[in-house]
Amino acid sequence: MSGIHIGAKLRDLRIKNGLTQKELANRSELSKGFISQLESDQTSPSIATLVDLLECLGSNLQDFFAEKADEKIVFGEKDYFVKDDEEAGHSITWIVPNCQKNDMEPIRLTLLPGGSSPLEEPHTGEEFGYVLAGHILLHIGDAIYKAGRGESFYFNPDQAHYISNPGTGPAKVLWISTPPTF
């Protein structure tokens, strides 16, 4: 098992669970000194002891030793997914793949002149947008707000809402919704 630092991984898992060495020792019926030695790789646990420790930390051997896949951090045009709706005069570009499983969902919304985004029903969460080009009208319930290039908006989506483009040229908006709604 060269390359795997059991002690450091145990320490990280303990800290993630908000436990002190003493609290983990009490839960696992081990001494604080032994936990300290494990975390500093001065000693190695038996498989049975490791299983017990991991159980106290809400984990198991499989998860503990699983290699994390490289998580993609930077995305470009080849990663984007685009959905055009010519009738509504908009194009939605999901700029982070599979973000529906995350806490927030960033999209790039392009509105043709006279176009509008889909009507979003009231929901929990938050909405943020930044106008990249043109200007838009933000419709929240019965209220209408104007935002132009370089301006942003932020609101709680507790009313039906959508964006429209009253201009003669295209408008582009970076729109982030939490939780994902698009």
Q: What is the pLDDT of residue 63?
A: 85
Task: Kindly report the pTM of this predicted structure.
Answer: 0.62
117-155, pLDDT tens digit by residue?
999 999 999 999 999 999 999 999 999 999 999 999 999
User: In terms of pLDDT, which residue wins out, 4 or 47?
Assistant: 47
- The per-residue pLDDT for 1 is 40
Query: From the CA atom positions of the chain, what is the Rg in Å?
Result: 25
Low-confidence winner among 1-15, 52-66, 75-89 (lowest mean pLDDT) = 1-15
* Class (C level, CATH) for 6-65: mainly alpha
Kindly report, residue by residue over 72-88, the tens digit of the pLDDT.
Answer: 889 999 989 999 999 99
Tokens of 135: 């200007």
Domain locations along the chain: 6-65, 77-178
Choose the CATH number for 77-178 among 1.25.40.10, 2.60.120.10, 3.40.980.10, 3.30.300.30: 2.60.120.10
| Averaged pLDDT score across all residues of the chain | 90
Supply 113's token pair.
């002149």
Residue carrying the six token digits 């942003």: 152
Higher pLDDT, 66 or 153: 153
Two tokens, residue 57: 């930390």
* pLDDT at 102 exceeding the cut of 80: no
pLDDT at 3 over 60: no
DSSP E strands, the chain: 81-85, 90-94, 105-111, 126-133, 135-140, 143-148, 152-155, 161-164, 171-178
Read off the pLDDT band of 2 (50, 70, 90): very low
